[in-house]
Amino acid sequence: MLELQDVCAGYGEGQALFGISLRVEPGEAVCLLGRNGAGKSTTLKSIMGLVPLARGRIRFLERDLQGLRTYQRSRLGLGYVPEDRRIFPELTVRENLEAARKSAAGDSRWTLERIFTLFPALQPMQQRPGGLLSGGEQQMLSIARTLMGNPRLVLLDEPSEGLAPRVVALLREQIARLKSEGLTILLCEQNLGFATALCDRMYVIDTGQLRFSGTFRELEANPEVKRAHLMV
Ligand code: ATP
C-alpha cells in the first residue's frame, strides 16, 4: 500500500534520512521505532510531502507521490497525525471535528457518531474549546480529526508522548480497535511497550538509517539491536 525506496531527505544542508526503504501492506500496523532525533518524524513528513526528497521514491496505492502537494496526498487517502497534536484551540471539539470532515478516498465513512463510539470521552466535551482539553483528550481529538478525512492509511507520530500511563493504555486500545476495523497504520514510537501489542512488524531507525526490520519476536531475539538503537 505504501512503499518507500531509498529515501534521502533533510532540512537544508542537514540530511536526516539516509536511504530509508520500507513497506506497509493493506490492513497492517507497522511501527517505526527509534530514539529522539532518529528520523521518525522526518520519515512521516517526507511521506506527506512536508520535507522534500533528495533521493528515492515514495509510492502509495501504486502511485508515485513525487510532485504531489500535501493536500493532494491527503486526498489520496493518507491521514497524518503530527506529534504536536494540531487542533484548533479556539474551536470547540465539535467544530474541530466538523472542520476536518471531508470526503476522501477511504472505504470507511467516519461520522461524529462513530467517532464518539471510539472516543467516548469526547462526546460530553463537544462544546468545549479544544485548547481546554487535557493532553490525552487533545491526542484523541487530533486522531479523530484525521479520521474525519476518511483516510486509508494513518501516519501516527508518537501518540503516547507525554501522556499518563492510564491514558496511554486507553489510547493503545483505541488504536488497536482502528486496526481491527481494517485501517492501515504506520506508527512512530520511542516506546517499544506501546508498539508491541499493536504492531505486526517493526522497523528500527537510528541516525536516519534503518537498523532492523522484523516482528516483535525477532526484535526480542536481538538484544544488541535494542541496546544499540533503542532506549530500553
Ligand atoms: P523526535 O522524537 O525528537 O521527533 P524523530 O525520530 O522524530 O525524533 P526527527 O524529528 O525526524 O527525529 O529528526 C531527525 C533529525 O533531523 C534530527 O537530527 C533533528 O535534529 C533534525 N531536524 C528535525 N527537524 C528539523 C528542522 N525543522 N530543521 C533542521 N533539522 C531538523
- Could you state, in order of their start, the residue ranges of all structural domains in the chain? 2-229
Q: Which amino acid is at 134?
A: S
Q: What is the mean pLDDT of residues 10-17?
A: 90
pLDDT at 163: 87
Q: What is the mean pLDDT of residues 187-199?
A: 88
Dihedral sign for Cα atoms in the order 216, 210, 159, 190 = positive
Nearest CA to ligand 1 atom 18: 37
Nearest CA to ligand 1 atom 17: 37
| Residue 139 CB partners (closer than 8 Å, separation 6+) | 85, 159, 163, 167, 171
Tell me the fold of 2-229.
Rossmann fold (3.40.50)
Q: Is the shortest distance between the CB of 13 and ligand 1 below 6 Å? A: no
Number of CB atoms found within 10 A of residue 20's CB: 24
Using alpha carbons, select from 23, 31, 22 the residue that is nearest to residue 199. 31
Nearest CA to ligand 1 atom 20: 37
- In this prediction, residue 85 has a pLDDT band, given cuts at 50, 70 and 90, of confident
Please check the confidence at residue 105 and state whether its pLDDT lies above 80: no
Please report how many Cα atoms fall inside a 13 Å half-sphere around the Cα of residue 168, on the Cβ side: 14
The residue count for the chain: 232
**Full-model pTM:** 0.92
Q: Residues 25-72: pLDDT tens digits?
A: 999 999 999 999 999 999 999 999 999 999 999 999 999 999 999 999
**Between 93-100 and 135-147, two packed helices, what is the crossing angle to 10 degrees?**
30
Q: What is the mean pLDDT of residues 184-199?
A: 90
Q: Is the shortest distance between the CB of 120 and ligand 1 below 6 Å? A: no
Per the CB < 8 A criterion, the answer to whether 96 and 87 are in contact is yes
Q: Is the shortest distance between the CB of 142 and ligand 1 below 6 Å? A: no
Residues 160 and 141: their CA atoms lie apart, in Å, by 14
pLDDT at 232: 59
pLDDT at 109: 81
Residues 186 and 143: their CA atoms lie apart, in Å, by 13
Q: How far is the CA of 41 from the centre of ligand 1 (A)?
A: 7
Q: Is the shortest distance between the CB of 14 and ligand 1 below 6 Å? A: yes
Atom of ligand 1 nearest to the CA of 44: 11
Q: How far is the CA of 1 from the centre of ligand 1 (A)?
A: 26
Task: List the beta strands (DSSP E) in the chain.
Answer: 2-11, 14-24, 29-33, 53-60, 63-64, 78-81, 153-157, 184-189, 201-206, 209-214
Which of 72-76, 101-105, 208-212 has the least mean pLDDT?
101-105
Q: Residues 132-150: pLDDT tens digits?
A: 999 999 999 999 999 999 9
